[in-house]
Amino acid sequence: MTLIKSISGIRGTIGGHVGDNLTPIDAVKFAAAYGVWLKQQRDKDTYKVVVGRDARISGAMIQNLVMNTLVGLGIDVVDLGLSTTPTVEMAVPMEHADGGIILTASHNPKQWNALKLLNAKGEFLDGAEGAKILEIAESDSMSFADVDSLGKITKNKAYIDLHIIEVLDLPLVTVPAIEEARFKVVVDGVNSTGGIAVPLLLERLGVEVVKLYCEPNGEFPHNPEPLKEHLTDLSAEVRKHNADFGIVVDPDVDRLAFMDENGEMFGEEYTLVACADYVLSKTPGNTVSNMSSTRALRDVTEKHGGTYEASAVGEVNVVKLMKENKVVIGGEGNGGIIYPESHYGRDALVGIALFLSLLAEKGISVSDLRKTYPNYFMSKKKIELTPGLDVDGILKAIENRYQKEELTTIDGVKIDFSDSWVHLRKSNTEPIIRIYTEAKSQQEADLLADKFIEEIGAIAKS
């Protein structure tokens, strides 16, 4: 089964059987359920939803289905066309809309797509709201508009530009200093909307841009998750062009990773660490990331006199804790920067601008910048779920086995050892168990992950 209904939205592979995959019927059903839920929130004469998509091949088909379903409910639609997740998030309040839908499966390969659902603030729905929409989808209570009450679709292609203007206007984005530094950067847009938005931002900052895979045709040239093993072409281009560094984003531009001038990964986990270091140096305060993120953020936060706290995995969980703690910056270790001064959503464009401001201020290379941060190493592995596998039972067994260690169970099981940690959890976005570990060396992190994969296998067989 490759239709996943979770806190991260409705995600699945294109084609196949209704209810098992993201078929046209499933897209219509869940779009309709969202529209019905939206109308239940406030009794109004008119409703408006902002819709945008990444460049994956199925995007136009799914977007037309979703938009016309909303029209059938009597809801007006603002069609952003090819866009980014953070752009849609910002467009919702700017349009005074009631909600938004982003059609993207983020880092998943091209056969996947998804409906990411937003509230009137342009923020992801919480678990209770998502559960209500799933309940509506399975009910017979959906009622559509009559012919005189159908919604209308309005196209607006200006929002990527408006998003960039908002980023450039942030007080900590030092545009003159970045222009003076005369950076040269290679951008891997994975043939999606990052290929549109990232070069536009960089050019506005006076950065010389070398484009790699920036044609938004949805033909991903490599696995779109921005990990080292997928980025050999970017590494070669950075060295070939003698660039200051490389940038890669995922297809919907909410994850961000850097590559140094030698073609080596800066470390996806360290995107947030570097941006937080810069923000905290100007506006001291607290930080939040999810519990699968590096300890380095805690170290940098405490260096600046702040307090760090970890949330359950999932952007909505991070944002909730950020608001409770009134943090100045937060996000996720997968390269997701959430900067409240801009908006409460992961935003690669904001991350790029903050990172460039930091580099311009320090006047050092990206590799030298990386040396200024605590050195932790992570291993990110996974186990494919098979029918009948009792994930909850396995995690409970692990919890019992390690009950004398420091445990956190708000999201799977996280075990903190003195100089390492492991986090085991069922993914919100794929039919897998994720095994994340961190230690003082890559070998130790990999060995720790392999040890727990073996333990899980043994428990599953017992």
The tens digit of pLDDT for each residue in 229-256 reads 999 999 999 999 999 999 999 999 999 9
Task: Please identify, among 371, 400, 429, the residue that sits at the C-terminal boundary of a domain.
Answer: 371
Identify the bridge partners of residue 339 per DSSP, sorted by sequence position.
343
Same domain, 98 and 184: no
- 158: buried, middle or exposed (CB in 10 Å: 19+, 13-18, 0-12)? exposed
Same domain, 366 and 403: no
β-strand pairing of 184-188 with 76-82: unpaired
Which one of 8, 58, 83, 106 is the catalytic residue? 106
Report yes or no: 333 and 323 within 8 Å, Cβ to Cβ: no
Same domain, 430 and 352: no
Same domain, 218 and 365: yes
Active site residue 357: no
What is the structure's pLDDT at 5?
80
Average pLDDT, the chain: 95
The tens digit of pLDDT for each residue in 347-402 reads 999 999 999 999 999 999 999 999 999 999 999 999 988 887 888 999 999 999 99
What is the structure's pLDDT at 98?
98
Given pLDDT bands bounded at 50, 70 and 90, which one contains residue 9? confident
Quick check: 7 pLDDT over 70? no
Task: Give 169 or 432, the one with higher predicted confidence.
Answer: 169
Same domain, 123 and 175: no
Report yes or no: 342 and 354 within 8 Å, Cβ to Cβ: no
Same domain, 213 and 151: no
Task: Please identify, among 323, 342, 371, the residue that sits at the C-terminal boundary of a domain.
Answer: 371
Contacts of residue 135, Cβ cutoff 8 Å, sequence gap at least 6: none
Report yes or no: 93 and 120 within 8 Å, Cβ to Cβ: yes
What is the structure's pLDDT at 389?
83
Task: Please identify, among 337, 371, 405, the residue that sits at the C-terminal boundary of a domain.
Answer: 371
The tens digit of pLDDT for each residue in 112-134 reads 999 999 999 999 999 899 999 99
**Domain containing 149 — which CATH number?**
3.40.120.10
SS3 per-residue string spanning the chain: CCEEEECCEEEEEECCCECCEECHHHHHHHHHHHHHHHHHHCCCCCCEEEEEECCCCCHHHHHHHHHHHHHHCCCEEEEEEECCHHHHHHHHHHCCCCEEEEECCCCCCCCEEEEEEECCCCCECCHHHHHHHHHHHCCCCCCCCCHHHCCCEEECCCHHHHHHHHHHCCCCCCHHHHHHHCCEEEEECCCCCHHHHHHHHHHHCCCEEEEECCCCCCCCCCCCCCCHHHCHHHHHHHHHCCCCEEEEECCCCCCEEEECCCCCECCHHHHHHHHHHHHHHHCCCCEEEECCCCCHHHHHHHHCCCCEEEECCCHHHHHHHHHHHCCCEEEECCCEEEECCCECCCCHHHHHHHHHHHHHHHCCCHHHHHHCCCCCEEEEEEEECCCCCCHHHHHHHHHHHCCCCEEECCCCEEEECCCCEEEEEECCCCCEEEEEEEECCHHHHHHHHHHHHHHHHHHHHC
Q: CA 190, CA 220: separation in Å to the nearest integer?
A: 6
Q: Which amino acid is at 176?
A: P
Same domain, 301 and 174: yes
Same domain, 138 and 11: yes
The tens digit of pLDDT for each residue in 44-92 reads 999 999 999 999 999 999 999 999 999 999 999 999 999 999 999 999 9
Q: Which amino acid is at 103?
A: L
Containing domain of residue 237, as a range?
Answer: 162-371
Max Cα separation, the chain? 66
pTM exceeds 0.85? yes
Percent of the chain with pLDDT over 90: 90
**Total tally of structural domains belonging to the chain:** 3
Going across the sheet that includes 413-416, the strands are 377-384, 432-439, 421-426, 413-416, 406-408
The tens digit of pLDDT for each residue in 286-329 reads 999 999 999 999 999 999 999 999 999 989 999 999 999 999 99
What is the structure's pLDDT at 1?
46
Same domain, 112 and 52: yes
Same domain, 339 and 395: no
What is the structure's pLDDT at 385?
83
Same domain, 192 and 91: no
Q: What is the mean pLDDT of residues 269-282?
A: 98
Same domain, 414 and 319: no
Given pLDDT bands bounded at 50, 70 and 90, which one contains residue 8? low
